[in-house]
Structure 1
């Protein structure tokens, strides 16, 4: 026997979805029944079902999967309450532009056994809210109700078109229980058209020829050009033309609030990253006369630092250049274009070369000239000095271990070297997930990554993404045939707690997704105090300890690594470092090496709880 649930599951599988991250409830009898039918008739289910005891972890895992694979996973949750329990992960998937299909059932509409699936439990009255999809609608690319068995394939196809077209993102679907129990005969089931063969996502668009010439001309004639990006590296193929353009004209590149790896650390014109706190943007912003803002939600914070009012600003975004999902956002620009980064940068390289060739024919070429050579020399020197400064910070260990505190540069330098030593690829096939919050920028700088696709952040501001994302990223790497040697999550102690470690490490053991977790443990939430200091730098709270401010977790902080051990029934390995003898360089290096070996050789999760100076 087939039902609408059979059709829904088949539509997902035929559309190329491989994994469903699920949290079952009373609205899912038809789905559970059909999955068992598949096991009996076919030996297994078409979708890999990943049980998730917490909904935010489920959606974070689907996000991690999508960030690696570039294709959507499914998330299945329980009516209105499960939809609410998706929590801040809804925000993260929206802001990171990660394609995901979310499905929730809904309370039955009948209650007298008029239909199969009618109400038969008391909760079904309480869960029948007026507009269930309104809970998440403003974060979704599309919401839809499944109304009948035969229309499900088309509803799913349309939803996935929205999810996979720029700006990519989550879609939400829901159905009453009676609808999902609707029976269909085998002939109807086999006849229904499934998949996306006639429902493709929207093709990427390029710059208009006029826009390409205009931007290229401005960059060629600029004295102080600058490129700003945040998420260009979501498409790794956009990175080579970025580097070509930057190298041709000696243009510095900076990543603001980056979601992903955008520019190799070793690129001599890479200025690194900024999270836009006061006085943390590149000094080149203040003197920039031409700025290319490409795939960036926030190029600068006007109240902190901004370019000159005379600067020529060109904004290029592949899906949402006006940021329709943001209440207020405005950056003055000469030109705003909706264009794919890879296509646009390729066009700009071609246009720059063509324009310069024409100028060179009359003796006025720019490429290779003294101005560009000198600019390149200065940028290379700046890059080298920054690297040397980081080297010094990493090497400066505490002198008195009994009273000392481990520093983040100490830890990250040792981690980078440990990964390079222990992994077969010398670190080139390591995936870093960065949810270190107030230490975001240090992770980007000290790990010195060079490979596209080697680092991701949540893309949003809701903490708790990392643990679930690590599980999902591991599963995604298997599907996408990404040969990562090692997956490393670097997470603050607050974010670790937000990530529901009891759920995440249970999942990691059940689905065999070993990864290394580095907890930057500063004893609480540093970010709220930093925000307070930004508004009240000399106020009453400026000298108060975090425990008085109620932003600390002490004096008796959780034993974080042992939470992972307990959640996995002893499968995960954990250790605390950064106090007493565990601040010595050789001890830190030995602990990191041991943790990496646990993941690589024993195929288990490892957690290092790294105690730092209090927030």
Structure 2
């Protein structure tokens, strides 16, 4: 029988969805029937990845889309499964990652009037007034499937919205009777449902921006996620080299600019320090950055001329957000940079000014890299985060993808990994911890040929639901390496408390309520659940050897987790 569920699954296939990360429940009998029927007939549909926890399912879809730009499907169980997506839907929404989430809904009949009518007690408890409202603050679009006659149109519209800039997750729900409904097949031409075309800078404003860049003594580019498009990185390098413009990465979600390029002037996370290049800048191009700086810690001068370019320049989903920009442009970064570079081809920069600036920024870059190198020196007594990250950099190759959820060591990882290739480095792009495990699964599914290394704090490792992550990794043959920067607690709340109360009671008492059980064997969770190789590393001299052993296991098809003990919080 051809049902609404059959049409729904076909629409996902037509739209190019490769995987459905699924946590099935009592609302999905028709979907299960359709999937089994398709399998028996060798009918091609997206592959189902059974996901024992919804947070991991969403994080995996997030990671896959981050790496490929292609949204995947997530299927969860009514409002309970929707709520169990938890912080993972926050991450996808804030990081502007396209994902389609589908949830069933409790049946709307109870006396057998229709196929799928209520037949389990849970159907009454799971019937809520506004299931879609759970997701409304975290999705670009939500709707209810009411009939199989237009379900394909709803799926294609949802994915069109999801993939259009600013990208983000979308949510569909359907009650059991609707998904069981017999219907007729509808043919859809997916080429008629493409995302909205990228926006460009207004022609009259391109020259204004270019003129300011040409006249600037100390121009600067600030970015966070421009590297979502690899071609945009190339255009940014071209601009930086043409005018000797330094590039500063604030809260980087991707590799946005090669760390070894002489115009790269570093990264900033929550460090309580003013960046000297930002302070000195007289013209700033902030492009693809939600948080280009934190004003109470690090900001440009009041006289700086700022241009802001982003797919979402108003940040309407951030109630408090503003920067003093001369112009706000809603534009695609790749398109905008092409326009700027094209306009510069007709200009003649002041070569003496450019040359002097190139020499100055190159010297700053060299000093910065020397400081990074000095911080990596081996300490015979403790494993420092800097040394650990440097060892990871030394054992990885050009076929490696780094995931960074090291939280209070975010800055250490970005600086000491020093990513140089687009698509080789990612952070979650948002604030809900635990993205690392599911995202590593999704990225490995997207690129089985790549080596995926997840660098995580012990807190964010626990948030990732590692038991689920690693049972899935073994089941679906997606081995990756996890390195836990284990300081036995949440360092972030301590930093936050000291940031507000530097000499407060908590500091005087040295009590921050952040310490974890020191006897926990975190890597053993992965070993028990997913047959991962597990090792605790406590001696600095063992770090490189342990990394090499773990990578050997990963390349032989077995996940590995290294619980590396760094100084306690």
Q: TM-score per shorter chain, which class?
A: over 0.9
User: What is the distance in 2 between the residues matched to 1:385 and 1:596?
Assistant: 32
User: What is the distance in 2 between the residues matched to 1:549 and 1:387?
Assistant: 34
User: Are 1:447 and 2:417 an aligned pair?
Assistant: yes
* Cross-structure match for 2:455: 490
TM-score, with length taken from structure 2 = 0.98
User: What is the distance in 1 between the residues matched to 2:519 and 2:38?
Assistant: 47
Question: C-alpha root-mean-square deviation of aligned residues, in Å?
Answer: 1.2
SS at match of 1:150: coil
* Cross-structure match for 1:401: none
Matches within 5 A, 1:532-543: 532-543=497-508
User: What is the distance in 2 between the residues matched to 1:393 and 1:442?
Assistant: 10
User: What are the ranges of 5 or more consecutive residues in structure 1 without an aligned counterpart?
Assistant: 357-364, 399-403, 420-426
* Cross-structure match for 2:532: 572
User: Are the counterparts in 2 of residues 11 and 195 from structure 1 also a CA contact under 8 Å?
Assistant: no
Q: Give the superposition deviation at 1:450.
A: 1.1
Q: Give the superposition deviation at 1:45.
A: 5.1
Query: Which of 478, 481, 488 in structure 2 is aligned with 1:523?
Result: 488
* Cross-structure match for 1:433: 403
- Write the deviation string for residues 347-399 of structure 1: whole angstroms up to 9, x where unpaired: 1112123132xxxxxxxx41xx222111111111111112122222212322x
Residues 120/45 of structure 1: CA separation in 2 closer, same or farther (3 Å cut): farther
- How many residue pairs match? The answer is 569
Query: Which of 367, 386, 398 in structure 2 is aligned with 1:385?
Result: 367
TM-score, with length taken from structure 1 = 0.91
- Structure 1 segments, 4+ long, off by >3 Å, are none
User: Are the counterparts in 2 of residues 7 and 149 from structure 1 also a CA contact under 8 Å?
Assistant: yes
* Cross-structure match for 2:319: 327
Q: Give the superposition deviation at 1:163.
A: 0.2
User: Are the counterparts in 1 of residues 275 and 298 from structure 2 also a CA contact under 8 Å?
Assistant: no
User: Are 1:79 and 2:87 an aligned pair?
Assistant: no
* Cross-structure match for 1:423: none
Q: Give the superposition deviation at 1:332.
A: 1.0
Matches within 5 A, 1:221-236: 221-236=215-230
* Cross-structure match for 1:510: 475
Q: Give the superposition deviation at 1:84.
A: 0.2
Query: Which of 339, 349, 353 in structure 1 is aligned with 2:345?
Result: 353
SS at match of 1:2: coil
* Cross-structure match for 1:287: 280
User: What is the distance in 2 between the residues matched to 1:45 and 1:511?
Assistant: 18
SS at match of 2:423: coil
User: Are the counterparts in 1 of residues 378 and 540 from structure 2 also a CA contact under 8 Å?
Assistant: no
Matches within 5 A, 1:133-282: 133-184=132-183, 188-189=184-185, 192-194=186-188, 196-279=190-273, 281-282=274-275
Q: Give the superposition deviation at 1:268.
A: 0.4
User: What is the distance in 2 between the residues matched to 1:124 and 1:557?
Assistant: 42
SS at match of 2:376: helix
Which segment is superposed worse, 26-35 or 340-349? 340-349
* Cross-structure match for 1:125: 124
* Cross-structure match for 1:338: 330
User: What are the ranges of 5 or more consecutive residues in structure 2 without an aligned counterpart?
Assistant: none
* Cross-structure match for 1:6: 6
User: What is the distance in 2 between the residues matched to 1:196 and 1:48?
Assistant: 20
User: Are 1:552 and 2:515 an aligned pair?
Assistant: yes
Which segment is superposed worse, 44-53 or 30-39? 44-53
User: What is the distance in 1 between the residues matched to 2:212 and 2:384?
Assistant: 43
* Cross-structure match for 1:415: 392
User: What is the distance in 1 between the residues matched to 2:548 and 2:564?
Assistant: 14
User: What is the distance in 1 between the residues matched to 2:473 and 2:188?
Assistant: 32
* Cross-structure match for 2:308: 315
User: Are the counterparts in 1 of residues 493 and 512 from structure 2 also a CA contact under 8 Å?
Assistant: no
User: What is the distance in 2 between the residues matched to 1:197 and 1:500?
Assistant: 38
Q: Give the superposition deviation at 1:195.
A: 5.1
SS at match of 1:391: helix
* Cross-structure match for 1:603: 557
User: Are 1:306 and 2:285 an aligned pair?
Assistant: no
User: Are the counterparts in 2 of residues 74 and 100 from structure 1 also a CA contact under 8 Å?
Assistant: yes
